[in-house]
Structure 1
Amino acid sequence: MSEPQLQQTESIKYLMENIEKGNIVLPEFQRDFVWDIGKTYELFDSLVRDIFIGSIIYGKPSFEITVRDIDKRPRKGTGSRAKIETKFFTKEEIEHKSQINNFRLVLDGQQRATSIYRALKGIDDIWIIIKNEEELIEDIQNKQFKDRTLEEIIHEFNGQEDEDRLSVKLSDAYTINKSDDFEDEIKTKYFELLMYPSGFEEDEIKSVFRKFMGTIKKLNELLGSEKLLSYYLLNMNTEKFALFFERSNSKGIQLNFIDILAAKLYKGFNLREEIEKLQNSYDVSDYQFNREIIVRTISYIISNGKEVDRKYILTNLNYTHFNEYWDKVCIYYKKVIDFLFKENYILSQSWMPYENMIIPLIIFLHELNGSDFSQMNERQNEFISYWYWSSIFSQRYSSGTNEVIVQDCTILKRIANNLKTTDKSYFNKIKIPMKGHEDILSLTKKGSAVYKGVLNFINFASKGLLDWPNSSKLTFNSKLEDHHIFPKQYIKENYSDDDNAVSLIDCVANRTLLPKITNIRIGKKAPSDYLMDIKLKKNINIEDSLKNHLIPIELLDGLYDDFYFDFVETRAKQIFESIENKVIVKEKQVLNNFYKTPVTSNSGNKKVFANYYNKKIEATFDIDTEKILYKGKSYSVSSGASKAKEDLSGKANASTNGWKFWKYYTDSDEIRFIDDYRKSNAFTK
């Protein structure tokens, strides 16, 4: 019988050391690591903000057991499908390892533990992005950098560095803190490879490097905090071990911030009643309305295109805003869903990769003349298609969602008004990173947005998916399942010795969307057997349905029954080629049609401004000399920024990259950094 254990704490450093030494492992039967990269961003954000992430539960079994290591495989490419080795330990070996090495099994929390390990070892690239000085609230700006907490200075966690903000890769920070490297070595190995300091003057580089090293130190303190991870350690016999896993899947009910908003609005707008009324006005099987989508859309409108985050919503929105915009936004919401289905972007709302993408589309309608998709021109339609698929395949909505929503709403607002954007970097943010069919083969996580995106894209490429028993077009919100083309059990029974094939059982290239009832009837037969059965009994034209799902029709003749890997590779190539032809090749065309080079004269003066400490400050930029004329004196671009900051804050040495501080208005009233002039002049010199 096990003794009751109190909750204890440990540091992330201690967790990492024990994983590396093999003292923390998983039971062999634990489910695979399934978190997409966005979950890791959220996890580290919670750790920085001291938000409870749940306890890790360890077990010390008093019986023999087979274990496996934490998943250290890359997400795609070479080694991504390698088999994770297992080890068997006798009861005596476990007892010895527990006494000597604090050996334990992760019973609950393996997704969190694995995400932490992968980020700090660089298996997954995770960057912490630091706010620029002007983005900090006044109270934080008044502090020295060394006195600021990570929570006070963090902008977001992301999968790539931000060229406009100081970025530190977590694995670099972890490695630096474990190494004996001197500062000049760290500067060469890590800091000088960053995009952000490029173009800084020497004194600015020193200042930014100090912040880089300060951030490394803060991360080290975070990882070394003994109170960061909480855990329970259970000594368990076989019966209790099984009972724990049987009962550990129960879920509690969580309150959403919208529930708090509903209570706030109740005096003049019953949000719960209105969403129920909206849902009941349509057949429940036809539409599903997410109240958070409606609320964030209203927030964007009320804030004049600036805010959709919960703090703004809870602080600034009131019932008059909802009485004014609720009905209108709900009508747009339905129109967006109708458009996405009619144009084959989605088959079912439940299979939509990123529900938040509905918000920019609602704003597009709000701005579009006539407020109906039928009124958009072909170029607008072209942009919507490119933006939709590129955003999904680039996983644009996996992190920094509020900022992404605002930026996309603003871009689509301009497109609705037939205006181009002068922000060329935007097109890099939605650039699809796929390079070939291997990227398709790497998609095995059912919940990931790209996995869902591929299945939806097949529907788009085929202009609507057909069912298999009768070749009828699948209807909106059909009860769909991601059917295994090669049945799971068939692969396990016929390819048990082929690790490569087994690792690809759940690959998206072996999946397609079908109604649940069709899927049930297929069972575990060989593909040619169940397909021929459908052909003879139900649908003589089954080949048309297979082509429609981008499935090689040779599957029907049994040519692939014994060549599963060849099948998934062939289909993966076909899917990638379709994405390439319908989306990737249009990158240059979309850039040409929707990007407008900022008008940057090579001579003369330009009125510029900057915002700092919630104040606006103005100056003049001399394009010929690249000098800032501020309060009657001439400064370099960055020195002028430092002087302006000093005047507004009363603090000296507030250095920054002046090219990303001073802004100007383009001819189309877009706000741009004067960095455009530097780039333009560099190009013409």
Structure 2
Amino acid sequence: MAKTFDSGDVPLADLLNQAHQGELQLPDFQRGWVWDDDHIVSLLASVSRSFPIGAVMTLQTGNADVRFQPRILEGVPDSVAMSAPKYLLLDGQQRTTSLYLALRSGAPVPTRDTRKNDIERWYFADIDACIDPDADRNDAILSLPVDKRRVNARGDVVLDASTTEAQVRAGKAGFFPLSIVLNPAATADWQLAYLEAGPPREQMKIWKRFQETLTLPFLQYSVPRIALNRQTTKEAVCQVFEKVNTGGVELTVFELLTATYAAENFRLRNDWKRRQAIWADEPLLADLDATTFLQIVTLLWTRGRWEERTRERVRGDRVPAVSAKRRDMLSLPLSGYRRWADAVTEALQGVVRFLHGERIFHARDLPYSTQLVPLTAILTLLGGDAFTPKPIAKLRQWYWCGVFGELYGGTTDTRFANDLQDVLAWIRDDGEEPRTVRESQFQAERLLRLRTRNSAAYKGLYALVMKRGGRDFRTGETIDAKAYAADSIDIRHIFPQKWCAANGVDSAYANCIVNKTAIDGQTWGYMGASAPSKYLAAIETGVPVTPQDLDAILTSHDIDPIALRQDDFGAIFEARYERLIRQIEDATGRPVNRSDGQGNPFAGQRGGVALTRGIQSLIKAGESKVVEFKSTGRKNLDTGKVDQAMGWAVIKTVAGFMNGHGGTLLVGVRDDGSVLGLEEDLTIFSKKNTDGWEQWLTELLIQTFGKAVTANVTVAFGTIDDRTVARIDVAPALEPVYTTRTKTGAKGAVFLVRLNNTTHELDGPEASKYQHARWFK
């Protein structure tokens, strides 16, 4: 096999001269020069001591099959940009560019300081430190600002090297400008000035030692070079480039594929910029980078290859795997990229649509940015069918199982491929549940540890609160992408931190997701550190909003307005803890695990005396958008008999609350607020106690709404003046809830909503308009 490279040394001065004349340039896929001031100082010190700085690798140009667009090194005169290079620098760009700028360009070096601020620097050698055998050579290389002066905090000049006269007298023995070290004529002129600056014999003695320790090492320095000849193939170039060009900043797949595609005259970097511009104004895709995009394309390309080979397979043949691992991305051919890139770009609009529907509006609120890879690939292949009822329901379940199972936080390459295959089979062919769905588990006590955006589940619950109907505190409307941005909505405390600390609430409970919800910036301004009873009054006056409307907004966030107005942290926490668990179960279709036995830290806060006090407060406040009273649930008091109309009235109210803000129904209370109790209803049951009544209600709800929806209804019983009252708390529904009419025996699904203090039926355009506003349907 013919040898494809040569090796040897090239004098540093010759290498930099080749760059200056345009004979040595960079292939266009090389990244920009990024070295900072400290790196440059260290590099100059190494060369001055003849230490090795590593080899450079070049590629001889002239191979018609390996064509890369060249560009000149940083700082090289623009006049040589049109020159055809003889060599392309594949490895050693950062070192070569740094040395060119500092030693050959004749201009200050544009670099960065340790804080990544842009600066310009000249580099000098402190002669006295250079000839001191005990001095650190790094300390002997000085970095000075563009004016070649150093000042103290008061602005006084403490070091001046702005002129040759100042340089030869600076410090103990002078500061030599390294920008002329490879220019013998300029160095000779500076030497003459130096010798004239002091006693000639003493100056000559110092200069000779300085020549031996610094200027000669620079002039004699040679760089090891591996030179690939023009017969080197494109594939070999890219492979070598991947192996060797890993210094400084990690080399990305995008850059390597840029190299590969450049060989076919395709400008991947330009193509990527064009695609980025398409979603530039979409906050959800703000962090979507080129590597992620290529992962999606690779996943689809390997899936297409897998399908093709599966159809054509002869028994015993190995079928290539579906994958988006790095090696597969590097193997992505230009034809594969062209085949899928446009489809992925279009599918990203569907990704935004899907995530907006789940109330995720910004990249910072994405539970897992990695989950975009399989999600986008799935939507690309499903197309418009993804948003029909059955596929979208399964897609949502898979998505939330990934979030609350916290399955996308580690190594995800294998999960990408599994989910693409599993979810497509599940949706298209009614296959078994995807592994991500089966493996998803959430521990109830995890709620207590969700305190910051670092957790995917934290972000997920924030989104679910809005999805279930959490309203904008400022406008009272369902939160959409426009309101989210315009009102500065964020995850904020319900009971302020300072109030919690002052009232003995453990910070672990005060700062966890149970005590937080989506609150706009203006409302947050009214809340401050005040008790809820005080800040609610401030909101009502400042927004302004009526107490009844504010209660409806609070209920939509699973916050009991009566308990909040009583500053009852424990009651709020207990109820919300349970409600969030049910939201997770609804979203994932899987039970939350309570196996470790710790449970709700405020369990029982709403029972007994607290429950009775809460019911009394609700009765005192009267019926509203989120509170309704019913005398009975089964017995018609006028006839003394069981009446389906009574049950239908309960169902109507529950359905209205589900389709609205949520709410509380009290059964055993007359419209005027007087307590009748359930005792009349209980006479109908063989077991004249609340167990039978609750069982009847649960069965009625399941028959009407199904088990999943019924899980969002909780029932408790309190005693007032020896009379039993049922408190039925209803959460807002994830989807429109239709109810089968049973009042008159006629059949048919109706859509019921809560309007002010009563429940109404909507149909046709009215129902459609309401649902669009409520769920963006």
TM-score of the aligned structures, taking structure 2 as reference length: 0.38
Q: Relative CO higher for 1 or 2, CA cutoff 8 Å, sep ≥ 6?
A: 1
Larger Rg: 2
TM-score of the aligned structures, taking structure 1 as reference length: 0.43
